[in-house]
Structure 1
Amino acid sequence: MRQHDYVAEVSCGGTVLEEYGTNVTDDGKLVSCWIQSEAGKEFAITWKFDVQDGSRGAIAKTYVDGSQIGHDVCTGVHGLNSKQYGGADVDDKTYKPFRFTPISLTDDLGVATHRDLVSLGTIAVVMFQGTKEKKLGAHCVQLGDVVKRDQPLKPPSTTHYHWGHVDEKKPLFTFRFMYRSREFLQAQEIIPYTIEDNQPQIMNAGPGDESPEPELVGQVTNIPIKDESDDEDVDALQRQLEEMQEKIQRIKRKRPPNQSTKVEVKTEKRIKPESGARQRPHLKYNGDVIDLTSD
């Protein structure tokens, strides 16, 4: 994140983590964003005073989960304008690296303070304006035993410079990183789902688990034939035949290539006709042949 000449970032393995949902308050005093954390991954925090003016300086306090882990000065001099924290110092030669870790839940309310709960899951860099102060180099000297010098003593400087806060109670602004797991950020619609997240899991089927390709079967059933005169009956059958042919064509157009289509046409069971009455034919269709013969 950047605000004016100030930059802050979090990185894993030398790669800066992508920032999501960056927001700046109206007064510009708080710049916040979300970053994705991964359990077990080590990370580092870097802040920079991005100017080329040695007369200017900046001071920053860095916090992890509410605990201060750094309080340093950067100036506009090349090589002195950035600061990185990769862990907590143990001594002059060793440190313990920062690492994202799953939270262990407990019912003991005394384990965590209110500050811990509020600051948990956050990395903050609070920026202050620095000023170069001129101080007198006075010393109080007490004489001791005579000691032979290896080299002639150089006269000490009567003055020196150091950097201090213009107003430690009024920071310029704060960078705040809120780190969460990928699953949390996706659930909150902060980061999008990837193709891998949306792809369904496909189980490996055994030799006997293969299912045959589905066969498209279209059925037109229960077509009523009314008892009418012969001429009317023929007209009704002709209309029904045309309707069936249209349905057959629709099914053929919808079926996948190289896939069989079976259409069966049945008639309702009717009362046995009286002697001398003409029996109505049953219509059957199988493939491309229509049988109009009577039983």
Structure 2
Amino acid sequence: MLQFNDTFAYIEVDGQELHQYGIDTLPDDNTVTCWVASEPGKTFSITWGHNRWNEDYSLTINITMDGSIHDGGILRPGPTKKRTQEGIRTSSTSLRPYMFSRLELTDEDEYLDKSSKHLGEIRLDVWRAITESQSSTSSTYHGIPETEGKIHERAKKALSHCIGYGSDVPTATIKFVSTTLIGAKPLATFIFRYREYNILRANGIIPKPAENKSAPQLDQNPAQQDILDLTVEDVIAVKPEEDIKSIDAAIRALQRKRVALEASSSATSASVAVRMGGSQPPAKRIKRESGFTSGEVIDLT
């Protein structure tokens, strides 16, 4: 939740508080700002309150969404520490729930100057207030904004969502009271800037998940992953110990055969020399290698 001194606020979707990203506190303005991820078609509610009560005054809230003023709420002195706003009032016994919606673009010039610079923003101003003793069940409702969900295409500014409203739902009868605000500025201001999740991620507002360095990272697209071909031709079989001994014996046999061939070649050369009247050269001594170690490689090329 966002908190400034003893005052707090948060947004809920499906009973779960929306995570706040990039929280920034401006103490000179009594303001806290953040980003939240919006999902079109999801209704939401706003909960606000305090952690310490002052018996001398009430708390009241002014709500502004996409630059349009909405009905607020009040917390009187007493045990109640928080209040939830679920939608925009259409009567004392009904409301239309707040909802994230897709932004509709238009090229109609009448919408060119109607786009608010606060589009994509939910602002809550919490004030100290004195409440009147009289109350009634009638009030002037702000109503649904005329530009609901529609914006000129030249004013989009990378936005894709806006505030919309669900269908009318019945509620318990509520009473309205008049209030007098105390102070020159709000006790606290909370600003929730909502955007599509992918936009927040692309702009680095939502951090990427930490990489797990202990395991290789695989591409999320199976079609782009390297495929290991484990066909029979690529399998290298490990010979048992007796087969290795057989290989050693075969290598030693080849060595003996080579020695015999060299000896035979030397004898033939000497015989030819004797027949031609020459002297027989001394027999060439062949040094035999012994102690061949299993696993060594002999180049017989």
Contact between 1:126 and 1:173, CA under 8 Å: does it hold in 2? yes
CA–CA distance in structure 2, aligned partners of residues 91 and 112 of structure 1: 31
Aligned partner of residue 118 in structure 1, secondary structure: coil
Q: Distance in 2 between matches of 1:134 and 1:68?
A: 25
The answer for the alignment partner of 1:64 in structure 2 is 65
- Give the TM-score, by structure 1 length: 0.55
1:102 CA drift (Å): 1.5
Deviations 1:245-266 (A, max 9, x none): xxxxxxxxxxx99499xxxxxx
> What does 1:28-107 correspond to in 2, within 5 Å?
28-79=29-80, 81-107=81-107
The number of residues matched between the two structures is 194
Tell me how far apart the structure 2 counterparts of residues 185 and 89 of structure 1 sit (CA, whole Å).
Answer: 31
3-state secondary structure, aligned to 2:102: coil
Match of 2:196 in 1: 181
The SS at the match of 1:51 is: coil
Corresponding residue SS for 1:184: helix
Question: Structure 1: 5+ residue runs without aligned partners?
Answer: 136-160, 216-255, 261-286
SS in 2 for 1:54: coil
Contact 1:128–1:171 at 8 Å: present in 2 too?
yes
Conserved 8 A contact 1:49-1:74? no
* C-alpha deviation, 1:29, in angstroms: 2.8
Aligned counterparts of 1:162 and 1:8: Cα–Cα separation in 2: 23
1:94-129 CA distances to partner (integer Å, 9 max, x unpaired)? 321111111122233431535x33111111101222
SS at match of 1:100: strand
Question: Structure 2 matches for 1:91-170, cutoff 5 A?
Answer: 91-113=91-113, 116-131=115-130, 163-167=179-183, 170=185
C-alpha distance in structure 1 between counterparts of 2:3 and 2:107, whole Å: 39
Residue 195 (structure 1) shift: 8.2
Residues 60 and 72 in structure 2, CA contact (< 8 A), matched pair in contact too: yes
Which string of whole-angstrom CA distances, capped at 9 and with x for unpartnered residues, describes residues 15-69 of structure 1? 1111111101251432100011111111001111332343332221011111122
CA distance in 1 between counterparts of 2:111 and 2:57 reads 43
Alignment CA distance shift 1:31-1:113 (3 Å): farther
Distance 1:176-1:259 versus aligned 2 partners, 3 A rule: farther
Identity of aligned residues (%): 23
For 1:164-194, what per-residue CA distance to the aligned partner results, in whole angstroms no more than 9, with x for missing partners? 2124x53233210001111011001111234
The structure-2 alpha-carbon separation of the partners of 1:29 and 1:214, relative to structure 1 and needing over 3 Å to count, comes to: farther
Structure number with greater CO (CA < 8 Å, separation at least 6) is 2
User: Structure 1 residues 50, 70: closer, same or farther in 2, change over 3 A?
Assistant: farther
Letter in 2 for 1:96: R
Tell me, yes or no, if the aligned pair for 1:50 and 1:76 is still in contact at 8 Å.
no
CA contact (8 A) 1:49 1:75 kept: no
Is the alpha carbon distance of 1:58 and 1:174 closer, same or farther for their aligned partners in structure 2, counting shifts above 3 Å? same
Task: Look up the equivalent residue of 2:50 and give its one-letter code.
Answer: F
Structure 1 pair 259/117, CA: closer, same or farther in 2 (3 Å)?
Answer: farther
Tell me the residue number matched to 2:281.
Answer: none
- Structure 2 gap segments, 5+ residues each: 135-176, 212-217, 239-295
Asked if the contact 2:39–2:100 (Cα under 8 Å) also holds between the matched residues in 1, the reply is yes
Q: 1:52 to 1:26 in 2, by over 3 A?
A: closer
| Compared CA separation, residues 25 and 214, structure 1 to 2 (3 A) | farther
